[in-house]
A and B are shown apart, each in its own frame.
Chain A
Amino acid sequence: MSPVFADLVGQDEAVDVLRHAAAAAAHIIDGSPGQGMTHAWIFTGPPGSGRSVAARAFAAALQCATGVGCGDCHGCHTTLTGTHADVRFVVPEGLSIGVGEMRALVLRAASAPSGGRWQVLVIEDADRLTEAAGNALLKAIEEPPPRTVFLLCTPSTHPDDISVTIRSRCRVIPLRQPPASAIASVLASRDGVSPDVAQWVASAAQGHVGRARRLARDPEARKRREAVLAVPRRLTGVGACFDAASALIEAAEAEAEAAVAETDATERAALETALGAGGTGRGAASAVRGAAGQLKDLERRQKSRATRAQRDSLDRALVDLAGFYRDVLTLKMRAPVAVVHADTEQLASAAAEKWTPESTLRRLEAVLACRDAIEANVKPRIAVEAMMLSLWRG
């Protein structure tokens, strides 16, 4: 397997298609006809399946001097580290990607590749395009410049995630949720994680490679997970439910704040330095007015990013919690599958003794309903409180 694709855990079919396409792309550069290359791709799959990892690896293979994604040449290296002049990554910081941003990106992607190979535009979370931004992108995909490649990542090809017309012009690479065993073996062989730790974090991460890696490396992430898994035991009454909801939300806020604080400060300092060069000469007053606007704009974007980070953090917690109730159900039904959370298996079997299958299922559904509600913009506190009460009652 080519090294750039080695990070794609348990996705052998997708990797075959992408390697074939990369080889065809290299033929096109050489001037010979290439079969199997196309200029617009959609990577789909559940969170953690490696959509953006796949897009990045494919982009590297397209820029690779050897055409296979060796991982060592200048083209591979700069693409993987995000510094290649002809590869642009769009990572939405807020909840959506606006039309202004998209027009500028499309314009840039239309220019000739400076490295002589391909202009690549990678849009992570293409499901967060606004309708107008989607239309701007569609125009570019409909009449693609000869050496431009669009790589889009979305959870699925459902019309809610990506417009039907965009979908119809793209080749879809479906990624699956990698099995825990595949994640564990990658963590052990590539990240140097001890096999037993790799085993349990792979299963606790429920198919999310990045999450498994974070659990293996970051003691804070493990602590937060333990706090979440302590929730079922803490629900002893109505009052306790509200306390647990507060704790969960505050933990998500703290995690999100820590995650964005550093970037926020760096961005602000950079902007202030850039604006501070204005001096006091002619035009300084209007420069100050412009500066205030730019700072405000930055603050708005940062706030939007913080909101997203908070929701993502809360969602991780809910996925962990859902895993626990799924374990209870698994044990109750004596299903021959491994538990998600090996470290709370005892608690889960105690709960399985006590609860009926119906009430366990209702609890699991309450967690999933809470995720949906938050995604549908319900105030997180209200959604989580309602969930905790349902978890308590069963």
Chain B
Amino acid sequence: MTSTASPPIVLVSGDEELLVTRAVAQAIEAARAADPGADVREYEAGALSPGEVAEMVSPSLFGGRRLLVVRNGQDAKKDLAAALLAYAKNPDPDVTLVVTHPGAAKGKAFADGLRAAGATVVPAAKLKGQRERVSFVRDEIRRNGGKCTDDAAEALLAAVGNDLRELAAACSQLIADTDGRIGADTVARYYRGRAEVSGFTVADAAMVGDVPGALEALRWALHVGVDPVPIADALADGVRTVARVASAGRGNAYQLASSLGMPAWKIERAQRQSRGWSPEGLVDAMRAAAECNAEVKGGSDDRGYALERAIFAVAAARQGAGAGQRGSGAR
């Protein structure tokens, strides 16, 4: 977290939208804390000319603090980057310049230049791995004035999924609805019976080939007492949605919404999930989903095992692109 005294140059580095938004909001807050009348302006790097830079950093007639946010620093053209770097070497103490940069190769020289000029770097990269996500949840709960155990954080991840925005919302919801001490049992109580949440978490992970994530979400769902049948249904729905969206071709989600009879957000998500899927793989995955449905409806002794097997089968179908079940030349 940034210190209260506003640094003159801030580089927000990373592509996790929630963290970027938060870093910028925090900088604005700090500027306003120092001067309630602070002048805040936002620019898009791609639409900013070097000439404008001189104007925006020049001292104001009326004095007072100023905060300048330049978004998408990777889009800055050479001369704009040069102008900003020149300014960074000799910044105005009454001005805070915030530049956001996704951290990838594009515009890397510009970001490195800001670093070299002594910019305060706020990391905002996408979280990698379960460990980082667990600590994100714990930090979130702490930020909101609560306390949370590791296994409670794991449980929440399993129930809600990996989207940081949804996680953040879930954390503040949990804090609001409890005394702030969050254990695994709190999460279990809170999410029990929210079958669609758990079922779709399992399906979402399975459809992108995230077997550990899907298995973990499944174990959690079963642990909190979600019935296997809606989980199996959610799995089938996951395959169906990706299959229908993928075969509708590349198109605008809003235009596809009416022909597919699905909300646009669901189409967009399925479009992302459909990467890596072949038609043949979808055939195998749908068959696995149907078999799983039969098994959880009473054909199988261990319904949790039937669901686990279906997750493996769906992931294998994605990877094998349909070649797994039988040799080619079937037709």
Chain A residues within CB distance 8 Å of chain B: 237-242, 354-356, 358-359, 362, 373, 376-379, 382-383, 385-386, 389-390, 392-394
Task: Assess the B293–A378 pair: CB atoms within 8 A.
Answer: yes
In the complex the two chains form, what is the Cα distance from A385 to B288 in whole Å? Answer: 12
B243: nearest residue on chain A (CB-CB)? Answer: A238
Q: Please, could you name 23 A-B residue pairs with CB atoms under 8 Å apart, sorted by A?
A: A239-B247, A242-B244, A354-B331, A356-B330, A356-B331, A359-B331, A376-B298, A377-B297, A378-B293, A379-B236, A382-B236, A382-B286, A382-B289, A385-B240, A385-B290, A389-B243, A389-B283, A390-B283, A393-B280, A393-B283, A393-B330, A393-B331, A394-B331
Q: How far is the CB of B151 from chain A (nearest CB, A)?
A: 34
Task: Assess the A378–B294 pair: CB atoms within 8 A.
Answer: yes
Task: Assess the A389–B330 pair: CB atoms within 8 A.
Answer: no
Q: How far is the CB of B92 from chain A (nearest CB, A)?
A: 59
In the complex the two chains form, what is the Cα distance from A139 to B240 in whole Å? Answer: 50
Proximity string of chain B (269-307) to chain A, C-beta cutoff 8 Å, 1 when within and 0 when not: 000000000011011001101100110011100000000
> Is B210's CB within 8 Å of the partner chain A?
no
> Is B33's CB within 8 Å of the partner chain A?
no
Q: How far is the CB of A371 from chain B (nearest CB, A)?
A: 12
In the complex the two chains form, what is the Cα distance from A358 to B330 in whole Å? Answer: 8
> Is B268's CB within 8 Å of the partner chain A?
no
In the complex the two chains form, what is the Cα distance from A93 to B279 in whole Å? Answer: 41
Contact A242/B240 with A389-B287, A390-B287 known, Cβ cut-off 8 Å:
yes
| Category for how many chain B residues contact A | 20 to 34
Q: Which of B246, B289, B294, B299 has the most CB of A within 10 A?
A: B294
A239 CB contacts on chain B under 8 angstroms: 243-244, 247-248
Which label, helix, strand, loop or mixed, suits the secondary structure of the A interface?
A: helix
Q: Which of B248, B279, B290 has the most CB of A within 10 A?
A: B290
Q: How far is the CB of B205 from chain A (nearest CB, A)?
A: 20
Task: Assess the A238–B279 pair: CB atoms within 8 A.
Answer: yes
In the complex the two chains form, what is the Cα distance from A354 to B330 in whole Å? Answer: 11
B289 CB contacts on chain A under 8 angstroms: 382, 386
Contact A389/B248 with A376-B297, A377-B298, A394-B330 known, Cβ cut-off 8 Å:
no
Contact A376/B247 with A382-B289, A389-B286 known, Cβ cut-off 8 Å:
no
Task: Assess the B282–A238 pair: CB atoms within 8 A.
Answer: yes
A393: nearest residue on chain B (CB-CB)? Answer: B283
In the complex the two chains form, what is the Cα distance from A377 to B299 in whole Å? Answer: 10
A240: nearest residue on chain B (CB-CB)? Answer: B247
In the complex the two chains form, what is the Cα distance from A390 to B299 in whole Å? Answer: 22
Task: Assess the B330–A386 pair: CB atoms within 8 A.
Answer: no
Task: Assess the B247–A392 pair: CB atoms within 8 A.
Answer: no
Which residue in A242, A377, A383 is a CB contact (below 8 Å) of B290? A383
Q: How far is the CB of B90 from chain A (nearest CB, A)?
A: 61
A390 CB contacts on chain B under 8 angstroms: 283, 287
Within 8 A of A (CB), among B59-104: none
Q: How far is the CB of B235 from chain A (nearest CB, A)?
A: 10
In the complex the two chains form, what is the Cα distance from A390 to B288 in whole Å? Answer: 12
In the complex the two chains form, what is the Cα distance from A275 to B243 in whole Å? Answer: 52
Task: Assess the A242–B243 pair: CB atoms within 8 A.
Answer: yes
In the complex the two chains form, what is the Cα distance from A373 to B293 in whole Å? Answer: 9
Chain B residues within CB distance 8 Å of chain A: 233, 236, 240, 243-244, 246-248, 279-280, 282-283, 286-287, 289-290, 293-294, 297-299, 322, 330-331
Task: Assess the A386–B331 pair: CB atoms within 8 A.
Answer: no
Q: How far is the CB of B321 from chain A (nearest CB, A)?
A: 13
Task: Assess the B282–A386 pair: CB atoms within 8 A.
Answer: no
Q: How far is the CB of B206 from chain A (nearest CB, A)?
A: 15
Q: Which 9 A-B pairs have the closest CB atoms?
A: A239-B247, A386-B290, A389-B283, A238-B247, A377-B297, A382-B236, A378-B294, A238-B279, A378-B293
Q: How far is the CB of A296 from chain B (nearest CB, A)?
A: 25
Q: Which of A356, A359, A377, A393 has the most CB of B within 10 A?
A: A393
- A239-B247, A354-B331 known; 5 new pairs, CB 8 Å cut-off, are A358-B330, A376-B298, A383-B293, A389-B286, A393-B330
B248 CB contacts on chain A under 8 angstroms: 239
In the complex the two chains form, what is the Cα distance from A355 to B329 in whole Å? Answer: 11
Task: Assess the B294–A237 pair: CB atoms within 8 A.
Answer: no
B240 CB contacts on chain A under 8 angstroms: 242, 385
Q: Which of A354, A382, A393 has the most CB of B within 10 A?
A: A382
Task: Assess the A376–B294 pair: CB atoms within 8 A.
Answer: yes
In the complex the two chains form, what is the Cα distance from A320 to B243 in whole Å? Answer: 27
In the complex the two chains form, what is the Cα distance from A242 to B239 in whole Å? Answer: 11
In the complex the two chains form, what is the Cα distance from A382 to B235 in whole Å? Answer: 10
In the complex the two chains form, what is the Cα distance from A239 to B236 in whole Å? Answer: 15
Q: How far is the CB of B246 from chain A (nearest CB, A)?
A: 7
Q: How far is the CB of A40 from chain B (nearest CB, A)?
A: 31
A242: nearest residue on chain B (CB-CB)? Answer: B244
Task: Assess the B233–A355 pair: CB atoms within 8 A.
Answer: no
B233 CB contacts on chain A under 8 angstroms: 379, 382
Q: How far is the CB of B271 from chain A (nearest CB, A)?
A: 14
Task: Assess the A237–B279 pair: CB atoms within 8 A.
Answer: yes
Q: How far is the CB of A95 from chain B (nearest CB, A)?
A: 14
Task: Assess the A378–B331 pair: CB atoms within 8 A.
Answer: no
B290 CB contacts on chain A under 8 angstroms: 373, 378, 382-383, 385-386
Q: How far is the CB of A242 from chain B (nearest CB, A)?
A: 5
Q: How far is the CB of A359 from chain B (nearest CB, A)?
A: 6
B280 CB contacts on chain A under 8 angstroms: 393
In the complex the two chains form, what is the Cα distance from A237 to B278 in whole Å? Answer: 12
In the complex the two chains form, what is the Cα distance from A240 to B322 in whole Å? Answer: 18
B282 CB contacts on chain A under 8 angstroms: 238, 389
Task: Assess the A238–B283 pair: CB atoms within 8 A.
Answer: yes
B283 CB contacts on chain A under 8 angstroms: 238, 389-390, 392-393
In the complex the two chains form, what is the Cα distance from A379 to B248 in whole Å? Answer: 24
B294 CB contacts on chain A under 8 angstroms: 373, 376-378
A354 CB contacts on chain B under 8 angstroms: 331
Q: Which of A241, A354, A362 has the most CB of B within 10 A?
A: A241
In the complex the two chains form, what is the Cα distance from A383 to B297 in whole Å? Answer: 13
In the complex the two chains form, what is the Cα distance from A385 to B241 in whole Å? Answer: 12
A237: nearest residue on chain B (CB-CB)? Answer: B247
Q: How far is the CB of A157 from chain B (nearest CB, A)?
A: 23
